[in-house]
A and B are shown apart, each in its own frame.
Chain A
Amino acid sequence: MTVQTFFHRRRSRFLFGFLFFSALYYGAATLVDYHLLNSFQAIPAAFAWLATNFMPTTRSMAFLPLILTKLGQTIILSITATVIAAILALALAIIGSSTTGLNRATKLLARVIASICRNIPLVAWAMILLLSFKQSDFTGFLALFFGSFGYLTRSFMELIESDATAIYEALSTTGASYLQVVLRGIIPSISASLLSWLLYMIENNIRDATLVGILTGTGIGFLFDLYYKSFRFDLAGMTTVTIIVAVVCLELLANQIRRLIR
């Protein structure tokens, strides 16, 4: 291939990509009636509005203890949902991964369960669970649980397949039993990555807890929705600020832990 044909091909590929994505954009924009300029002009207005209405006031300072308690409950609930999901996901991943799977049936079963749990949107889980578990913390817990369970099972399976295959083979040849291989070989060798995934998922679930809370009427999401819908925007702003602080702090803490266990 000469230099000319290389650059010619590259240019035509870029042109094709550009045309394809432009067509995609215009198709989608006309379908939902979206106006780029309109919405971009709204950004400064939105921030000006935020600065005047979401500013914490003396009233919102008075509500701070309540907001913080709800936020704390939400964080604890998210951690619990993630930990339980991780324990069950690990068990399912071990019996279902292509390295350590028990047999064909469990491998297939694990993949199907993970895929279904993961691909049903969190909103759908929240709505289905709300119908039977009503407006309780348990609904929020279960919705977060199902959302993270599928995701974690998938990730753990990939983790075992990429990181623990050699250990599995090495320990199996020494004559160790299946349980010994799993408990003494596989789990210790992937526990650092496991923890890293767990922390990532907790962070994610605290953010998702807001969405689930709005839909199911629990936790910090419910509080935000309540203030938002009763036009008490200073309180809604205070809630948002506490969420930002909590998520950023947790992210920093998680990064610190990741650095220590590397």
Chain B
Amino acid sequence: MIEPITDLTNTAKKPPIRVHLWNRRQKTMTATFAVLGLITVYQLATISSANIHFWPATIAFFKNAQLIFLQPGLSGTDSFGSLLSALATSAALATLTTLLGAIVSFFIALFAASNLANRKIGLLIKTVMAMIRAIPTILWVLIFSIVIGLGADAAVIGLSFHSIAYLTKAYAESFEDLNPEAIEALKATGANWWQIVFQAVLPSSLPMLLSWTFIRFEINFTNAIAVGAAAGAGGIGYQLFTASSFYFDFHEIGVIIYLCLAVTACLEFISVKLRKRYLK
């Protein structure tokens, strides 16, 4: 057995090695986690339940969930065909919003990207976009439905605002990731700005742009459902709202949720594939 040779090397006592360096990074992280934790504990202790008893409500929730998820069926107001057409309406709203948003934000992003345009203009555009993003989508739709009236026009324009702000940021960041040498090479040949955009920027960033656009399409689909429910703008969200708030038809809610789930699961599958291929 080998004896430890501590007495041979034992000199002055060394301070223990600190595994976690107490630097600014560590301090910021600890402080942020602590603040978030404190807020959570405070809120959980004082949450207003408005005379709802937690356990009976939870039991009721599971009973409802059982009706919704295990016994979906249509007996009342809407036929399966009408639900499918409402689902198509939601998908169409999402498609229109995404297409319009993609075209508009492509051109805005060209002026927001720091390697293609003036930095000051870029900063201004990014600030405006951050403010537009700060307004929840549903508020945009509600605001536009006063002016245009309820319907597809208000829904598409309202949803587009948020899409444009989101996609402009994503596109501008994709452009900024481009290899600067490609742009410089085209500049050296005497290509003008639009030629650079369409011959170098667009072809090489197209896969990333498509992935971002598809991610936004997923978000827009759920948003389209939301505006149907909260702003009456058409689509399956409206049926969901009437089925749960007016008719209390749990079986129909089940069918609607399964329909939405089928579509969003397909979209998620495609977008995971796209992201793995192009965004890493």
Contacts and interface: CB of A to CB of B under 8 A. Distances in A.
Interface of A: 10, 21, 24-25, 27-29, 31-36, 38-40, 42-43, 45-46, 49-50, 54, 76-77, 79-80, 83-84, 115-116, 118-124, 127-138, 141, 188, 191-192, 195, 198-199, 202, 207-208, 210-211, 214-215, 221, 224, 228, 240, 243-244, 247-248, 251, 257, 260-262
B24 to A, nearest CB: 6
Given A80-B44, A120-B257, A248 B225 contact: no
A191 B29 contact: yes
Contact of A215 (B57, B229, B256): B229
Contacts of A80: 39-40, 43-44, 47
Contacts, number: 222
A25 B147 CA distance: 24
B265 interface: yes
B261 A120 contact: yes
Contact of B244 (A83, A115, A130): A130
A224 B139 contact: yes
Interface in B228-280: 229-230, 234, 237, 240-241, 244-245, 248, 250, 253, 256-257, 260-261, 264-265, 268
B28 A46 contact: no
Nearest to B269: A115
A211 B226 contact: yes
B131 A214 contact: no
A208 B136 contact: yes
Nearest to A199: B32
Interface stretch (B88-96, B115-123, B183-191): B88-96
A137 B153 contact: no
A45 B91 CA distance: 28
B134 A79 contact: no
A250 B140 CA distance: 20
Most A CB within 10 A of own CB, among B32, B134, B257, B264: B134
Nearest to B156: A34
A239 to B, nearest CB: 9
B65 interface: yes
B143 interface: yes
Nearest to B260: A121
A58 to B, nearest CB: 22
Interface string B113-149: 0000000000000000011011111110011101110
B83 interface: no
A53 to B, nearest CB: 8
B240 A124 contact: yes
B99 A83 contact: no
Interface of B: 20, 24-25, 28-29, 32-33, 36-37, 39-40, 42-44, 47-52, 54, 57-58, 60-61, 63-65, 68, 88-89, 91-93, 95-96, 99-100, 130-131, 133-139, 142-144, 146-148, 151-154, 156-157, 203, 222, 225-226, 229-230, 234, 237, 240-241, 244-245, 248, 250, 253, 256-257, 260-261, 264-265, 268
Q: Secondary structure of the A side of the interface? A: helix
Contacts of A21: 99
B65 A32 contact: no
Given A80-B44, A211-B230, A42 B147 contact: yes
A251 B134 CA distance: 9
Contact of A39 (B153, B248, B250): B153
B244 A137 contact: no
Q: Which 10 A-B pairs have the closest CB atoms?
A: A247-B134, A136-B50, A28-B92, A132-B61, A119-B264, A80-B43, A32-B152, A132-B60, A39-B153, A127-B244
Contact of B29 (A28, A50, A192): A192
Contacts of A84: 40, 44
A123 B39 contact: no
A79 B240 contact: no
A42 B138 contact: no
Majority SS of interface residues in chain B? helix
Nearest to B95: A28
Contacts of A77: 43, 47
B139 A240 contact: yes
A248 B88 CA distance: 35
26 contacts: A24-B95, A28-B93, A31-B89, A33-B151, A36-B100, A38-B148, A39-B153, A42-B147, A46-B143, A46-B157, A76-B39, A119-B264, A121-B222, A122-B222, A127-B241, A133-B61, A134-B57, A135-B50, A138-B54, A195-B29, A198-B36, A211-B230, A215-B229, A224-B139, A243-B134, A248-B134
A32 B234 contact: yes
A83 B96 contact: no
Contact of A35 (B51, B133, B153, B260): B153
A214 B89 contact: no
Contacts of A134: 50, 52, 57
